Amino acid sequence: MRVKTLAVALFGAAFFVTGASRAQQDFSKVDIKITDLGHDTFMLEGSGGNITVAAGRDGVIMVDGQFAPLHDRIKAAVFAVTGLPVRYLVNTHFHSDHIGGNGAFAGDGTTIVSQANVAVRLGGGAIDRQSGAKVPALAKEMIPKLTYADSMNLSVKGLTARLGHPAKAHTDGDTYVHFKVANVIATGDIVTLGRYPLVDFLNGGSIQGMIAAVDGYLKLANDNTRIVPGHGPLATKATLAEYRAMLATARDRVAKLIAEGKSEQEAVAARPIADIDAKLRVSEPLSANFVRSIYSSLKPKA
């Protein structure tokens, strides 16, 4: 497995993340790290969610596109390793660090693809996680034009990708992509390694759905499968099994507190996953956020 880093000139310094936080980030020094997964399939890391690239004979299927200012670098990196244009860009969900490149790639002639709920969320149906307010619709070129309900195949010459929809997992519009010949699975943010995942319960996510989704990935995988998580390093089936165990442990501990009649505040104060915090080296505020999201997922507020 080969890894290299590609730096390409980038113009445009910042992208304002969708949502009330309006977080600003400088992308001017971001390099694209490329990991060769074999069978003309690659993992790209830059800023934002991991990208998976698979090349056929006449074009590329790409999974996630990070942020808009990184378009030129990502496009150059894809061409450097494939020599081909991006025919399809699959959004694994609607969060801005995965869909920011939609508009620019659509301008290149790329077809943007997602589960149907992503188009709904980007069209004005998303709820901001901080304010609880509706997020305004994005420009039409940012919204996927090709959508599906439960599953679909995407094909370019010599390559087929299987898209599947885990229901009510990280969000209500998640997609995983299985490149069967390459034995590669792109999971989106249902799997994030080295930190706690987000259970976006305000936008249809649930901890139960996330665990069920990981169970599905484990059934698809074998000991040689390369698993590209939404964030974090390339994973194996064994890594995924450990991650699944962590999710289940966190869920069970929070569920026990709910069964004991604890409020959300009391559940957070109990620090039910302190041992996992230490293992992952996660701060107390981030741990508290994860506990809150599990609590709200298991016991929705009226």
Residues 70-116: tens digit of each pLDDT: 999 999 999 999 999 999 999 999 999 999 999 999 999 999 999 99
Is the CA virtual torsion 55, 60, 66, 72 positive or negative?
A: positive
Among 90, 86, 139, residue whose Cα is nearest residue 108: 86
Longest dimension (CA), the chain: 59
| Percent over 90 (pLDDT), the chain | 88
Give the per-residue pLDDT at 21: 35
Give the per-residue pLDDT at 105: 98
Contact 181, 81 (CB under 8 A): no
Q: What 3-state DSSP class applies to 286? A: helix
15 or 225: which leads in pLDDT: 225
Label residue 154 left, alpha or beta by phi (over 0 means left) and psi (-120 to 50 means alpha): beta
Q: What is the mean pLDDT of the chain?
A: 92
Task: Find the helix or strand (DSSP H, E) in which 32 lies.
Answer: strand 32-38
User: What is d(CA 88, CA 110) in angstroms, rounded to the nearest whole number?
Assistant: 5
Residues 215-272: tens digit of each pLDDT: 999 999 999 999 999 999 999 999 999 999 999 999 999 999 999 999 999 999 999 9
Structural domains in the chain, CATH included, are: 3-242 (3.60.15.10)
- At residue 19 the predicted structure's pLDDT band, cuts being 50, 70 and 90, is very low
181 DSSP 8-state letter: T
292: tokens are 């809150």
Strands (E) in 91-195, as ranges, are 111-115, 146-148, 151-156, 159-164, 176-179, 184-192
38: tokens are 């074999």
Contact 147, 114 (CB under 8 A): yes
Asked whether the predicted pLDDT for residue 206 surpasses 90, the reply is: yes
User: What is d(CA 125, CA 248) in angstroms, rounded to the nearest whole number?
Assistant: 30
How many residues does the structure list for the chain?
302
Residues 109-132: tens digit of each pLDDT: 999 999 999 999 999 999 998 888
Q: Give how far Cα 282 sits from Cα of 153, 154, 191, 238, 276, Å.
A: 38, 38, 16, 22, 8
Residues 30-52: tens digit of each pLDDT: 999 999 999 999 999 999 999 99
Give the per-residue pLDDT at 266: 98
User: What is d(CA 23, CA 299) in angstroms, rounded to the nearest whole number?
Assistant: 30
Token pair 């995407």 is found at 154
User: What is d(CA 226, CA 192) in angstroms, rounded to the nearest whole number?
Assistant: 14
